[in-house]
Structure 1
Amino acid sequence: MDAFQQMSLHEAELTPTEARVLGAVRDNPEAFLQSSTTVVAKSIGVSQSAVSRFCQKVGYDSFGGFQMGLMAALSSNTSRDESTEPSSPVDCLCKMVRATENAVGEDRFNALADRIIGARNVFTTGGGLSAPPALTLSLDLLKYNVPCFFMENGQEMIHMHVSGPEDLVMIFSSKNNTHQLFLDVMRDTPASRKPYLVMVSHSSTHPLRKLVDEFILLPTWQTERYPVYIEPMTSMLDFCSLLMVAVSQKAGGRPQPLRAADSRQS
């Protein structure tokens, strides 16, 4: 019996508050895989103890055990792809590119590309495994002569000394509150100095999503229900590649290579 069957079996035993938790699980089960009890409880508007009681009533010793059962249930379900053919890792990687494109949408990619090209400066940042996509986007934008600066996690405020409303900050953050201090400061920054803030994430219940101007939710192997594990950073890198396609089309040219040192001496 999987997690969904167990929840249905015990549904009549739940209190009204616990029933709210059940409704939230059914509406967005993936959010429960990516969050702590604190974040889940806050997003639903219940106490942590209510979430814990719900997990126990449906047959699990703890929230962690419930997450494992939920993950197994989602993984055993058919993929969002209607094909019944088994998917290889390569197939799933290709599908992730399409899922990322669908999650963001052409209009949003184009709007973000316009904002990037029109910005005075673009700043990117990310912590842990979210740092490589931020650095990749920064380096790619420089090839198109877009002034872009990668900000090391914890050093964002150094760059913000010269920021303004005509600047853009791209924050890559899978699900944690790594950038809490930075965004708290930005919240209190006067509009005359505050840049436009975009967060690229994997969690619909990200604890900092309300502190940014634009929030972009990307898919993961769990949300797409692939039968194999794919590093969540993959969709962030796919996002960067797709965004750069839009940027290149609007910039109207190819990346500009750096002039070799010996060519200046000829």
Structure 2
Amino acid sequence: MDAFQQMSLHKAELTPTEIRVLDAVRDNPEAFLQSSTTVVAKSIGVSQSAVSRFCQKVGYDSFGGFQMGLMASLSANTSRNDNAEPSSPVDCLCKMVHATEEAVGASTFDALASRIIKARTVFTTGGGLSAPPALTLSLDLLKYNVPCFFMENGQEMIHMHVSGPEDLVIIFSSKNNTHQLFLDVMRDTPASRKPHLVMLSHSSTHPLRKLVDEFILLPTWQTERYSVYIEPMTSMLDFCSLLMVAVSQKAGGRPESLQTIKN
């Protein structure tokens, strides 16, 4: 049975607190796919046990089982156009580029490109599967002679010893609090030494979003309701490509090839 049908079927059995969880699922189901029980409970303002009880009352053994059922229900509605034909993987990949461009917006790309050009130094960072887009952006910026460093996860504070407000940090973080320690330190850093912080994420309820200056939410195959799985990193790479178009227009000229290091 469809997850939304199951929730409706068991609605009468829910407590007022569990109704709040139900309303949150209906308002933003994608957030439940991309978050843990801890993050979900905190965003709604209920306990983790309340979220777990809700999942059990609507017919699932655990929060993970509920996520799987919810994902299947969202995937069944593969298109926002009921009359559209099912898309092929290639079609979905092409659509993701357009979805990323639409989600970010031309004005945001333009403003971020201007900030990059004016920055003294740009730092990028990401953990796990979010690291490749961060490294890609760093290498692409170097081709336009933009001073840029890719910071390994856990090594950010080494670079921040020489940072200041004229610098820019771009953090790629899909949904987890990987950069908690770094951003906690940045929160307590004096304004005279604190760089501008931008975060790229796939979760609107990211636990660290309030610790950055700018938060940019990217689409995923779940939010776009594609019929095939597309690695979430894809929209991050699409973002990098679209941002570099804006950077190249402002920087002028063609990108230079990066020289290989010879022994």
TM over 0.5: yes
Amino acid at match of 1:205: T
CA shift in 2, pair 1:260/1:104, >3 Å: closer
Q: Secondary structure at the match of 1:24?
A: helix
The percent identity for this pair of structures is 90
- Equivalence for 2:47: 47
Alpha-carbon separation, structure 2, partners of 1:52 and 1:142: 48
Please, what TM-score do these two structures have when normalized by structure 1?
0.95
Specify the alignment match of 1:264 in structure 2. Answer: none
Indicate the residue corresponding to 1:57 in structure 2.
57
- Counterpart of 1:84 in structure 2 is 84
Quote the residue 2:4 is aligned against: 4
> Which stretches of structure 1, 4 residues or more, deviate above 6 A after TM superposition?
none
2:20 is the alignment partner of 1:20: yes
Partner AA of 1:15 in structure 2: T
Aligned CA distance change for structure 1 residues 54 and 250 (closer, same or farther; 3 Å): same
Shift of 1:80: 2.6
AA in 2 matched with 1:87:
S
- State the one-letter code of the partner of 1:27: D
Specify the code of the residue in structure 1 equivalent to 2:143: K
Structure 2 unpaired stretches of 5+: none
Letter in 1 for 2:185: V
Question: Structure 1 258/92 Cα, relative in aligned 2: closer, same or farther at 3 Å?
Answer: closer
What do the CA deviations read for 1:72-93 (whole angstroms, capped 9, x no partner)?
Answer: 0000013135552121100000
Are positions 1:32 and 2:32 aligned together? Answer: yes
After TM superposition, the score normalised by the length of structure 2 is 0.96
Determine helix, strand or coil for the equivalent of 1:125. Answer: strand
Match of 1:185 in 2: 185
- CA distance in structure 1 between the partners assigned to 2:205 and 2:260 by the alignment: 47
Matched residue, 2:109: 109
One-letter amino acid matched to 2:96: M
Which residue identity is paired with 2:178?
T
Residue equivalent to 1:155:
155
Where does residue 67 of structure 2 map in the other structure?
67
C-alpha deviation, 1:259, in angstroms:
7.2
Give the deviation of 1:257 after TM superposition. 3.2
Secondary structure at the aligned position of 1:30 is classed as helix
CA 1:258 to 1:8, structure 2 compared with 1: closer, same or farther past 3 Å? Answer: closer
Counterpart CA distance in 2 for 1:189 and 1:260 is: 37
CA-based RMSD of the aligned residues comes to: 1.4
Deviation digits for residues 215-266 of structure 1, max 9, x if unmatched? 11101111111111111100000000000001111112211235799xxxxx
